[in-house]
Chains A and B, each alone.
Chain A
Amino acid sequence: MLRFLPGTLVLLVTLTLTWVLNTKQGDVPPVARLLSPYRGFWQNGETEADFPEQQTLHLPGLRQPVRVRFDDRRVPHIFALNDHDLYYAQGYLTARDRLWQMEFMTRVAAGRISEVVGPKALEYDRFQRRMGLPFGAENSLRSMLKNDTTRLVLESYSAGVNAYISSLSPKDYPFEYKLLDYAPEPWQPLKCALLLKLMAWDLSGRSDDLRLSNILSKYGSEVTRDLFPDYPFREDPIVPVGTPLDFKPLPVPATPPSFTAALSGKVPQREPDAELGSNNFAVAGRRSASGLPLLANDPHLQLNLPSIWYQVQLHAPGQNVYGVTIPGAPAVIIGFTEQVAWGVTNVGGDVLDWYQLKFKNSSKREYWHAGRWKPVRRVVERIVVRGLPDRLDTVLYTHHGPVVYDQQEKPFNPQTPTQHAMRWTAHEGADEVLAFVKLNHARTYQDYDRALHTYGSPAQNFIFASNQNDIAIRPNGRYPLKWPEQGKFILDGSDARADWQGWIPMTQTPRVQNPARGFVSSANQHSAGPDYPYYIGWDYAPWDRGHRINQQLAKMRRATADTLRLLQNDNLGINAQTMLPWMLETMVGNKMTDREFPPPLPNTPNGEALGVLRNWDYHYTTEAIAATIFELWYQDLVKRLWEDDFSKAATGLEMRYPSRDRTNQLLLSQPFAARYGSYPASPWIDDRRTPKKENVHDLLAASLHFAVDSLTRKFGPLGPKWGWANQKSTDINHLAQLPGFGHQDIVCAGSPGTVNATGPRNGPSWRMVVALGPQVKAYGIFPGGQSGNPASRYYDDMLESWRVGKLDELVFLRAADENHPRLRAAWRLEQ
C-alpha cells in the first residue's frame, strides 16, 4: 500500500491548491477563475469588433424596431416608435454599459452589501435598513405604480435591463462581478426607487438636530440664537428678496412650549458629505448674444468611476430629449429638449427630524403620544451575510418613522441619537420619476410648472429656460409645514403639537419667473429671503459660490455658451477675498502694535508666506501657492477659535462649530484694538483651556505658524510644490475603491468654495451649458466616460477635457437618419 502514498500525497496537495484557486478567500477573489483567459477578466477586453458600426440585436418584448445611433463619445441616441420601446431600450443600453454599477448601488441603498462581501458590511447594511431607505423606496414605488405612465416607464426600463442580464453567461459578466465573485440578479422597478432614495440620503440625510440640542443645553437659547442664526449675515438667496408672492400663505402651526431634549453623546462617523453642492444659472435673452436664454448646471457630487451619470438622447413620438441619467433610473434627470432646458441643485432644507421617544417599558412595545400609549410596529429585517447564517434585526417603527437605534448598541452612525424616531421626507411616497418624464416632454414654462408637482425628495432647485424667453427657478419638493425652527433641535415625540402637520402646498414653494435682474441662479444657498412666509431650514451652504455667480451674471451682456462655461470654471475664492485682507492687516498691525506684536520678518518662512499671500488675486489656480497657505491658515484659525467651546474633545459633548458666515462676522466685527487684547473682544476668542487670555492676533499668528510649518514638513521649503493642485490632490476612485481603477492626484483648479467646486474627492460631476434657440445647441462633459467597463477606452475618455474645463458639443439629433460627422455606429433593436 505504501507505494500509493507519494501519489496520494501529491494528489491531496493538488486538490487543495485547486480548491484554494477556485474559491474566494476572505477578500481575495477566486484567483484562477479571475485570471482564466477563457472565463476570467481577460474576456472583458474590448476591441473595435465588439462594437460594430452596424448590427441588429434581437430582444424579446420589443414592440416595434428601435434605432440607436452612437456618437464618438459612445452616447446612445435612441429613436423608438412608442414609449415602451423607448424605456426598454434605455434600460437595455444602460445595463450594457453600467450593469455592475447600477446593481451595486441598489444593494448599497437596500442594505444588501453583506450578501456580496460578507460580515464586514453588516453594520453598514443594518444602518441602511434602520434608516429606512428600503422602507422609503417601497413607499415611493407604491405611489409610482399607481400612475399608469410611471408604471409603464418603470416596467419597460426593467424589462430592458433584464433582457441584457439574461443575455449574459458568466464569462460575459462585468469585471467587478468576477472580482467579487457573484452574479447579477433580475432587475425590478423597486431598484429604481432605491436609487432615488440613495440620492435623497446623499443630499438630504444630514441632520444637526442632536448637536444643536446639545449646544442649546450647554449654552442656552441666547448664545444658540446668536451663534446659530436662522438666516446668515451675508446672503444672496435663490429667490431674490422682494419677489412678490403669488399666493396667500397658510397659517403655520403654533410653536409649542420649549422642550429640553436629553443630552446625547452619540457622534457622527458616517453621514453624507456636507460639501456636496451644485451650481445652476440661467440668463434671460436680454443678457445673451442670441437674444434667447442660456442655461448652465453642474452638480457637485463625489467623483467616482464608473461615472455617476450616463448620457443619453431619448426620442419617441411627443418627445426628444438629451441629458444625463442615473444608471438604473429611467428618464433624463438634467437635460434639454428642442424648446427648453432644465437643471437641478440641492436644497439644504431641514427635512429630516428626530423625535425623542418615551416607551412604556423596556419591552418597547408601546410609546407615549398625544396622551395615550400607542403600539410600536416591529419590522424584522433579514440580512443575508456571505459565508454566515442570515442575521435578523428587528426595527421599531412609530408613526414618526423608524427608531434607527433602539438600544445602547454600537451605533454605526452616531449622529443618530438612541431612543429617537426619525421623520424624513424620503420616507414618504412621491412620484419623482413622473416629474422627470414630464420634464423630458416639456416645451413651455407651463409644462415645467406642471411637471414639478409630483416631485417629493430630495428637494432640488429646478432651474428652467425656454426658447420662448422664459427663465425660472424653483426650490421644489415636499416641505413639511413647520413652525419656525421646528426640527432645528430634537423634538418631543410624545407631544402631538411637535408632529409634522401637513405640507407647504406645491403651489407655494419658493419660486421666481423672469425676474427683473435678468438671471436666475442657485448654489445651495437659502431658498428665499426672510420675506418668504414659511420655515424650510436654517443651515445652507455658505454664500460664496452663489454670491460670486450672481456678481458675474449681473455683469453679463451679450453672453454666449462660452461665457457660462467660463463662469462654471471660475476659481475666485470669495472667502479668501473676504478674510485675507483682514488677516494680513491684523498680522502686520501698525506702529502701535509693532512693539508687542512684531510682524514676521520677510526672510523667515512665515514672512515669506505673508509675502506670497499679499500678492495673491484669490484665484484657486493649479499652481497658486497662496491658495494652499490661505486654506490651511484659515482652517486652523477657525479650529483655534471654536475648538475649546464646541469640540467633543474639549467639552465632552457632540456639538458643531458655528457656520463660516457667523465665524467671519464675529472675527471681522472685532475692533482693531480688540484684536490685540488692548480692548475687550468677544469672549469666544479666548482659549478657555489656557490660563493666558488669547486675542485674535495670537490665534492668527499661531495658525499661520502651524500652516507654514506643516506645509514645510510636507513639501519642503516654500516653492512650486506648494501649488494648490498638489495640496488639494483631487482623486477619482473606483466605486469599490480598487487601486488601479481610478485616477489620483488630478491636476485641476478650483476648490469647494469656488464656483468651480473641485475638492479632494468631490466636484462637478456633470457640466452642462445649453443655448436655447430655434435650434438648441448644448455642451457638456463629465469626469469619466460612458462605459463602466474598465477595459474600455470609453471608461474615462472625457476626463482630460473635464480637467481643463472644456466642454464637448453634444450631438443632438432631430431624426434617426440624420447625418452628423461625429456619429460612429447605427444599431437596430427588434423582436
Chain B
Amino acid sequence: MKSFSVLLLLILVSAVLAQLFLPWWSVVPLCLGLAAWRSTSIGGAFLAGLLGAGLSWWLPAVWLNTHGAGLLATRVATLIPLGGNTGLLVLVSGLLLGLAGGLAALSGALFRWAFAPRPAAPAKA
C-alpha cells in the first residue's frame, strides 16, 4: 500500500511540474517511466497512473473553476455538451488525462514484468 502511495505521489508531483513547462502529453512518458521503475503490481500501476495524472488536472481545475474560469467552464460544459455541469466537466477532463496516464503506467508496469518476470521485493523508496 505504501509503495502504491509513493508511486501515486511521484506521478502526481512530476505530472504537475512537467505540465507547467511541457505539453499535457508529457505525462504519458512520465507515467510509463515511473511505473516501469517503481510499480509493484499491474493493477496498482494503472490506478496510480489514473489517479496521479487525473489529480494533476482535477486539483487545478477545481481551483480555477471557482477562481475566474467558472463562467467559461459552464459555457464549455454546454458546448461539449454536458448540460452546463462544470463538476461533470472537471470530472471528465481529469478522467481523460487519467486514462492516458493509467494506460501509460500500465504499459510501464507490463514492461517491468516482462524484463523481470518475478520481481523481487519492491525497490526501496
Asked if A and B are interacting partners, one says yes
Which of chain B's residues have a CB closer than 8 A to the CB of A18? 25, 28, 100
Using Cβ atoms and an 8 Å threshold, which residues of chain B touch A741? 75, 79
Q: Is the CB of B93 within 8 A of A14?
A: no
Point out the residue from B20, B74, B89 that lies within 8 Å of A38, measured CB to CB. B20
User: Residues 59-102 of chain B: 1 if any A CB is under 8 Å from the residue's CB, otherwise 0?
Assistant: 01100110111111111111101001000010011001101100
| A164→B101 CA distance, assembly (Å) | 36
Q: In the complex the two chains form, is B103's CB within 8 Å of A37's CB?
A: no
| A257 at interface, CB cutoff 8 A | no
CB pair B79 A33 closer than 8 Å: no
In whole Å, how far is A177's beta carbon from the nearest beta carbon of chain B?
14
Contact B100 A32 (CB under 8 A): yes
Give the interface size bracket for A toward B.
35 or more
Q: Is A42's CB under 8 angstroms from B69's CB?
A: yes
Chain A residue contacts of B57, Cβ below 8 A:
35-37
- Given known A32-B96, A739-B81, contact A41–B76 (CB-CB < 8 A): yes
A21 touching B110 by the CB < 8 A rule?
Answer: no
Docked pose: A34 CA to B25 CA in angstroms: 13
Contacts of A13 in B (CB 8 A): 103
Q: Which B27-81 residues have C-beta < 8 A from chain A? A: 28, 32, 57, 60-61, 64-65, 67-79, 81
Residues facing B in A544-593 (CB within 8 A) are none
Q: Is B114 an interface residue (CB 8 A)?
A: yes
Report A143-180 residues with CB < 8 Å from chain B CB.
175
| B23 to A: closest C-beta gap in Å | 8
Query: Does the CB pair B61–A791 fall under 8 Å?
Result: no
- Inter-subunit contact B76/A45 (CB<8 Å): no
Q: In A22-76, which residues have CB < 8 Å from any B CB?
A: 22, 31-39, 41-47, 50
Asked whether any CB of chain B lies closer than 8 Å to the CB of A10, the reply is: yes
A4–B111 CB distance below 8 A: yes
**Chain B residues near A371 (CB-CB < 8 A):** none
Q: A793 interface residue, CB < 8 Å from B?
A: yes
Q: A6-B110, A7-B111, A740-B77 are in contact. Are A17 and B103 (CB under 8 A)?
A: yes
CA gap between A789 and B69 in the complex, in Å: 11
B-side contacts of A21, CB under 8 Å: 25, 96, 100
Q: Is A815 an interface residue (CB 8 A)?
A: no
A616 to chain B, nearest CB (A): 38
Task: Contact check, A35 vs B96: say whether CB atoms are below 8 A apart.
Answer: yes
- B116: min CB distance to chain A, Å: 10
| Residues of A with C-beta under 8 A to B64 | 37, 42-43, 45
Pick from A3, A10, A38, A45: contact of B70, CB under 8 Å? A45
B107 to A: closest C-beta gap in Å = 4
Q: CA separation between A789 and B71, bound complex, in Å?
A: 10
Output the least CB separation between A790 and chain B (Å).
5
> Inside 8 A of A39's CB, which chain B residues have their CB?
19, 23-24
Q: Are A740 and B75 in contact (CB under 8 A)?
A: yes
A738 on the B face (CB < 8 A): yes
Given A6-B110, A42-B60, A17 contacting B99 (CB threshold 8 A) = yes
Q: Which of A7, A31, A739 is the most central at the interface, judged by chain B CB atoms within 10 Å of its CB? A: A7
Q: Does A241 contact B (CB under 8 A)?
A: no
The closest CB in chain A to the CB of B84 belongs to A740
- Chain A residue numbers with a CB within 8 Å of B12 are none
A57 to chain B, nearest CB (A): 20
Nearest residue (CB) in A for B81 is A739
Q: Are B96 and A37 in contact (CB under 8 A)?
A: no
A11-B107, A740-B77, A741-B79 known; A44-B72 Cβ under 8 A: yes
The answer on a CB contact under 8 Å between B79 and A739 is yes
Tell whether, in the assembled complex, residue A33 and residue B24 are in contact, meaning their CB atoms are under 8 Å apart: yes
Q: Which of B32, B79, B106 contacts A738 (CB 8 A)?
A: B79
Whether B8 is near chain A, meaning CB under 8 Å from some CB there, is no
Residues of A within 8 A of B74 (CB): 740
Contacts of B32 in A (CB 8 A): 11, 14
Task: Give Cα distance in the complex from A571 to B26, angstroms.
Answer: 60
The docked-state distance in angstroms from the alpha carbon of A734 to that of B1 is 51
Please, which residues of chain B bring their CB within 8 A of the CB of A47? 67-68
Asked whether A38 and B67 contact (CB < 8 A) given A11-B107, A45-B72, the answer is: no
Minimum CB–CB distance from A742 to chain B (whole Å) comes to: 9
The answer to whether B100 and A46 touch across the interface, beta carbons within 8 angstroms, is: no
With A32-B25, A38-B19 already in contact, the answer to whether A10 and B103 are too (CB < 8 A) is yes
Chain A residues within 8 Å of B114, by CB:
3-4, 6-7
**Does B110 lie within 8 Å of A31, measured CB to CB?**
no
Asked if A7 and B28 make an inter-chain contact with CB atoms under 8 angstroms apart, the answer reads no
- Name the B residues within 8 Å of A3 (CB-CB): 113-114, 117
Q: Does B104 lie at the interface of the complex (its beta carbon under 8 Å from any beta carbon of A)?
A: yes
B24, A740: Cβ atoms closer than 8 Å: no
Decide if A14 touches B28 in the complex (CB within 8 Å).
Answer: yes
> Using Cβ atoms and an 8 Å threshold, which residues of chain B touch A791?
68-69, 71-72
Q: Collect the chain B residues with CB atoms within 8 Å of residue A17's CB.
A: 99-100, 103
Within 8 A of B (CB), among A381-415: none
Q: How far is the CA of A113 from the CA of B30 in the complex (A)?
A: 38
- Give the residues in chain B near A10, CB-CB below 8 Å: 103, 106-107, 110
Contacts of A32 in B (CB 8 A): 24-25, 96-97, 100
Task: Give the CA-CA distance A168 to B111 in the complex, in Å.
Answer: 41
Task: Write out the residue numbers on chain B whose beta carbons fall within 8 Å of the beta carbon of A33.
Answer: 23-24
Please judge, given known A-B contacts A22-B25, A740-B75, whether A31 and B20 are in contact too, CB under 8 Å.
no
Question: Contacts of A11 on B, CB cut-off 8 Å?
Answer: 32, 104, 107, 111
Question: A42 and B96: CB pair below 8 A?
Answer: no
CB nearest neighbor in A for B89: A35
Q: Are B107 and A793 in contact (CB under 8 A)?
A: no
CB < 8 Å: which of A7, A8, A45, A738 contacts B68? Answer: A45
What's the minimum C-beta distance from A129 to chain B, rounded to whole angstroms? 31
Q: Which residue of B lies closest to A13 (CB)?
A: B103
Q: How far is the CB of A1 from chain B (nearest CB, A)?
A: 9
A12 to chain B, nearest CB (A): 9
Residue of A nearest to B63 (CB): A37
**A42 B61 Cβ-Cβ under 8 A:** yes
Residue among B19, B67, B84, B100 with most chain A CB within 10 A: B100
B19 contact set on A, CB distance < 8 A: 36, 38-39
**B113: min CB distance to chain A, Å:** 8
Closest approach, in angstroms, between the C-beta of A195 and any C-beta of chain B? 26
Complex Cα distance, B105 from A372, in Å, reads 78
Check A50/B68 contact, CB under 8 A, given A10-B106, A38-B60: yes
| Residues in B whose Cβ lies below 8 Å from that of A44 | 69, 72
- Kindly report which residue of chain A lies nearest to residue B102, judged by CB atoms: A14
- Complex formed: what's the CA distance from A175 to B74 in Å? 13
The distance in angstroms between the C-alpha atoms of A50 and B72, with both chains bound, is 15
Residues of A within 8 A of B117 (CB): 3
Instruction: Look across to chain A and name the residue whose beta carbon is closest to the beta carbon of B114.
Output: A3
Closest to A33 in B: B24
Beta-carbon contact of A41 and B78 below 8 Å: no
Residues of A within 8 Å of B113, CB to CB, are 3, 7
When chains A and B are docked, how far (Å) is the Cα of A7 from the Cα of B109?
A: 8
Chain B nearest CB, measured from A293 CB (Å): 42
A46 touches B84 (CB 8 A): no
Task: For the complex, give the distance between the alpha carbons of A18 and B99 in Å.
Answer: 10
Which of B69, B84, B96, B100 is close to A41, meaning CB atoms less than 8 Å apart?
B69
Asked if residues B79 and A45 are in contact (CB atoms below 8 Å), the reply is no
B103 & A38 in contact (Cβ 8 Å cutoff): no
Q: A35-B96, A740-B75 are in contact. Are A14 and B84 (CB under 8 A)?
A: no
Q: Name B78's closest neighbour in chain A (CB-CB).
A: A740
Residues of the A chain whose Cβ atoms lie less than 8 Å from the Cβ of B100 = 14, 17-18, 21, 32
In the complex, what distance in Å separates the CA atom of A38 from the CA atom of B20? Answer: 6
Known: A32-B97, A790-B71. 5 other contacts (CB 8 A): A11-B107, A18-B25, A42-B61, A740-B74, A789-B72
Residues in A lying within 8 Å of B, measured CB to CB: 3-4, 6-8, 10-11, 13-15, 17-18, 21-22, 31-39, 41-47, 50, 175, 738-741, 789-793
9 A-B pairs (CB sep. < 8 Å): A15-B28, A21-B25, A21-B96, A22-B23, A31-B96, A32-B96, A37-B93, A44-B72, A740-B84
- Rank and list the top 10 A-B pairs by shortest CB-CB distance, nearest first: A740-B78, A45-B69, A45-B68, A791-B72, A7-B110, A47-B68, A37-B60, A10-B107, A11-B107, A35-B93
